[in-house]
Structure 1
Amino acid sequence: MDIIVAGHICLDIIPDWRIGGIKTIIPGHILEMSGLKLSTGGAVANTGITLKKLGISTTLLGKIGSDALGKVILEILQKEDKDLVENMIISQDEISSYTIVLNPPDTDRVFLHYPGPNHTFNANDIPYEKIKNGRIFHFGYPPLMKKFYENEGKEVVKMFRRVRKMNIIT
């Protein structure tokens, strides 16, 4: 593997909002959508899939739940390349992370985010022995991952120090 992409991963749930702006949201009313798109989100999926499409040997490290959302995340990753799911951590007792992306016409997007297992993912979840031959380690979205921003970021420092001792570029 050349690049390890670790960190935040979620399922983006994107309603197809074609008519009316944000002001069309009225409490107690139904706003009809034109469809729905499901996509992986977060640095692990966004960066990792792009690198794979560019032909770069890539390993993904993220944490999802064993629920329906997690299954969709795995399916999307497997459609790109079956090897992308090899090092994903599947938590049996957590709901997968998701983001509902509201994108009404002529308005900036609004994100409704549930962090799920991203908040419990920590430096000990990294399979250091498996990544020892990697060249580059990319860690995405520490500000969205509780274990990496709490305690003044000690967990993220611990992780990067260990990876750098392995002579992997961070």
Structure 2
Amino acid sequence: MDIIVAGHICLDIIPDWRIGGIKTIIPGHILEMSGLKLSTGGAVANTGITLKKLGISTTLLGKIGSDALGKVILEILQKEDKDLVENMIISQDEISSYTIVLNPPDTDRVFLHYPGPNHTFNANDIPYEKIKNGRIFHFGYPPLMQKFYENEGKEVLKMFRRVRKMNIITSLDMAMPDP
């Protein structure tokens, strides 16, 4: 593999909202949607799939649960290329991360996010032996991953030092969350 894309991954659940704006949300009432889209989200999926589509040898490294949401994430990734998922970490006791994306017409999107295994993913989860032949290690969204932002980001530093000792080029996407 040329590039390892690691970090945040989730399932985006996007209702197809065609009529009415945000003001049509009334507590206790039903707001009918026109459909639903399921898509992978986060740096691992977004960057990794794009690199693969560009013909670059890529592997993905994110942490998901063994639940139904995790199975959907794997299915979406495997449709792109079955080899993309060979280094994914599957946690047996966690619910996969998801984001419900509310995208009403004429209003900016609202994200309802559950971090799940992204919060427990840490530098020790990386299979360093498996990635030692990579050329570039891209890590995405540490500000959205608890183990990487706590303790002043020492976990990011630990991980990057280890990867750089392997003579792999590193890249970091900070995806700054809202204040």
Shorter-chain TM band: over 0.9
Q: What is the deviation of 1:104?
A: 0.2
Q: What is the deviation of 1:27?
A: 0.4
Which whole-Å CA distance do the structure 2 matches of 1:85 and 1:60 have between them? 6
Pairing of 1:56-71 with structure 2 (within 5 A): 56-71=56-71
- Equivalence for 1:34: 34
| TM-score normalised by the chain length of structure 2 | 0.94
Deviations 1:85-137 (A, max 9, x none): 10001100000000000000000000000000000000000010111111111
Q: What is the deviation of 1:165?
A: 0.7
Which whole-Å CA distance do the structure 1 matches of 2:92 and 2:133 have between them? 29
Structure 2 counterpart SS, 1:159: helix
Structure 2 counterpart SS, 1:28: coil
Q: Which runs of 4+ in 1 moved over 6 A?
A: none
Structure 2 counterpart SS, 1:64: strand
- Equivalence for 1:105: 105
Which whole-Å CA distance do the structure 2 matches of 1:46 and 1:166 have between them? 25
Q: What is the deviation of 1:64?
A: 0.3
Structure 1 counterpart SS, 2:169: coil
Deviations 1:9-42 (A, max 9, x none): 0000000000000000000000000000000000
| Structure 1 gap segments, 5+ residues each | none
- Equivalence for 1:43: 43
| Structure 2 gap segments, 5+ residues each | 171-179
Structure 1 counterpart SS, 2:56: coil
Which whole-Å CA distance do the structure 1 matches of 2:152 and 2:79 have between them? 38
Q: CA RMSD in A?
A: 0.4
